[in-house]
DNA sequence: CATCAGGGCCCTG
DNA sequence: CAGGGCCCTGAT
């Protein structure tokens, strides 16, 4: 695997909309562990592609909930142009939804007697994606029909063969390859990395992205229905993968439509303290209560339980998370 | 040891 | 629109 050392850096500040929750936004404990990001309280690292160039990012909390401010350090080799810095800034603002207006949502949360303590704790948290559409698509495909351990294995195998390791700020953070990199890699070679039938999906998706068949910037401007339609055209994207992409890439807050069996078990415990509630009931209840913010509301409650899991053993949850 | 389902999706009938 | 098949892995 190749690596790149980034020695120089430039920095700028971003002022997210208020209120803002830094750690809730930049770290999602429900996600499977990967080498693509790193996090500590008030600090966060990732890589980012701008065009064909790679940069390292360190993002630090320099503000407060009601007075948000973050510092972004951009690590580079050779140089970084003003235009690239501006693009990076805009990308960060989009990917982490830093300018979101959550007034209505926060008002809704306040009237929710049952879960208000959770909403209050994470006040200002955003749904976010560290990655661009292609990158998150790859991750989503690796999640399909696999347990966490297997997903981690597949991700590592792919990164070790086609990814790039960036060394900056004393960290080793990985970047996902460009789609075109897989064009002259055979499906058989990919299968050699034990990713199974997903090799076919990844080949075809990479081909489509190489040929610019998908316009991520345009996708961001579409309404939910049309964005979903576009995403479902992609090979290997069904209802669950579309939901992930709509929520994390497009910041569509009301995407609580598809519920997978393993999620159903966790929702049943979270919302009803029962082992299994019918998915239609779960969906109807949530939609009725949270309306246009169905998925965002669930996201707060979902991440909260995974934060707890970091330092507290939750027996029923351990059973449902298949490692 | 064999069998099976899994953090879905595609394809066929 | 229902159901079989798919890669591989760990659980039973």
Nucleotide nearest to A261 (CA to C1'): B7
Q: What is the spatial distance, in angstroms and rounded to an integer, between the CA atom of A30 and the C1' atom of B7? A: 11
In contact, A303 and A28? CB cutoff 8 Å: yes
| pLDDT tens per residue, range A20-74 | 999 999 999 999 989 999 999 999 999 999 999 999 999 999 999 999 999 999 9
What are the residues facing A54 on neighbouring strands?
A49
DSSP assignment of A219-276, as one string?
A: HHHS-HHHHHHHHHHSTT--HHHHHHHHHHTS--S--TT---HHHHHHHIIIIISSS-
Question: Where on strand C do bases come within 7 A of a protein Cβ?
Answer: 6-11
Protein CA at A310 to nucleotide C1' at C10, angstroms: 24
Q: What is the pLDDT of residue A89?
A: 98
Query: CA A197 → C1' B11, Å?
Result: 14
Domains of chain A: residue spans and CATH: 2-101 (3.30.310), 261-321 (no CATH)
How many CB atoms lie under 10 A from the CB of residue A71? 15
pLDDT confidence of residue A60:
98
Chain B: positions less than 7 Å from a protein CB are 6-10
Residue A39: what pLDDT? Answer: 97
pLDDT tens-place string over residues A226-250: 999 999 999 999 999 999 999 999 9
Chain length of chain A: 323
Res A260: pLDDT: 87
Which residues, listed in sequence order, are joined to residue A71 by a DSSP beta bridge? A13, A60
Q: Is A58 left (phi over 0), alpha (psi -120 to 50) or beta?
A: beta
Residue A318: the pLDDT is 84
- What CA–CA distances, in Å, run from A50 to A14, A87, A208, A308? 18, 7, 19, 35
Answer whether any strand B atom is within 7 A of the Cβ of A148.
yes
Position A316 scores a pLDDT of 85
Residue-wise pLDDT tens digits, A159-172: 999 999 999 999 99
Q: State residue A321's pLDDT score.
A: 80
Rg (CA), chain A: 20
Counting as low any pLDDT under 50, the low residues of chain A are none
Query: In this predicted structure, what is the pLDDT of residue A315?
Result: 84
Assessment of whether the complete model's pTM goes beyond 0.75 = yes
pLDDT of residue A217: 96
- Nucleic strand B within 7 A of Cβ A33: no
pLDDT the model gives residue A94 = 98
């Amino acid at each position: 695997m190749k690596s790149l050392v980034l020695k120089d850096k430039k920095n700028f500040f971003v002022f997210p909309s208020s209120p803002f929750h830094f750690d809730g936004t930049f770290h999602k404990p429900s996600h499977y562990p990967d080498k693509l990001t790193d996090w500590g309280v008030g600090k966060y690292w990732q890589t980012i592609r701008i065009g064909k160039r790679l940069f390292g990012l360190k993002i630090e909390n320099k503000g407060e909930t009601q007075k948000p401010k973050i510092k972004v350090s951009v690590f580079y080799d050779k140089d970084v142009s003003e235009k690239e810095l501006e693009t990076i800034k805009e990308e960060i603002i989009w990917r982490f939804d830093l300018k979101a207006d959550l007034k209505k949502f926060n008002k809704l949360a306040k009237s929710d007697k049952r879960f208000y303590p959770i909403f209050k704790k994470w006040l200002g948290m955003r749904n976010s994606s560290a990655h661009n559409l292609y990158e998150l698509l790859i991750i989503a495909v690796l999640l399909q029909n696999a347990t966490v351990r297997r997903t981690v294995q597949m991700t590592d195998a792919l990164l070790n063969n086609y990814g790039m390791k960036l060394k900056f700020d004393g960290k080793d953070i990985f970047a996902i390859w460009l789609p075109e990199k897989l064009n002259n890699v055979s499906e058989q070679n990919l299968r050699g990395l034990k990713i199974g039938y997903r090799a076919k999906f990844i080949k075809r998706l990479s081909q489509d992205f190489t040929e610019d068949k998908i316009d991520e910037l345009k996708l961001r401007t579409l309404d939910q229905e049309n964005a979903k339609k576009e995403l479902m055209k992609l090979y290997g994207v069904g209802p669950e993968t579309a939901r992930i992409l709509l929520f994390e890439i497009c910041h569509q807050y009301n995407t609580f439509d598809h519920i997978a069996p393993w999620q159903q078990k966790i929702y049943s415990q979270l919302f009803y303290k029962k082992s299994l509630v019918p998915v239609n009931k779960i969906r109807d209840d949530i939609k009725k209560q949270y309306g246009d913010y169905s998925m965002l509301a669930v996201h707060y409650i979902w991440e909260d339980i995974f934060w707890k899991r970091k330092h507290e053993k939750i027996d029923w949850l351990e059973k449902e998370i298949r490692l």
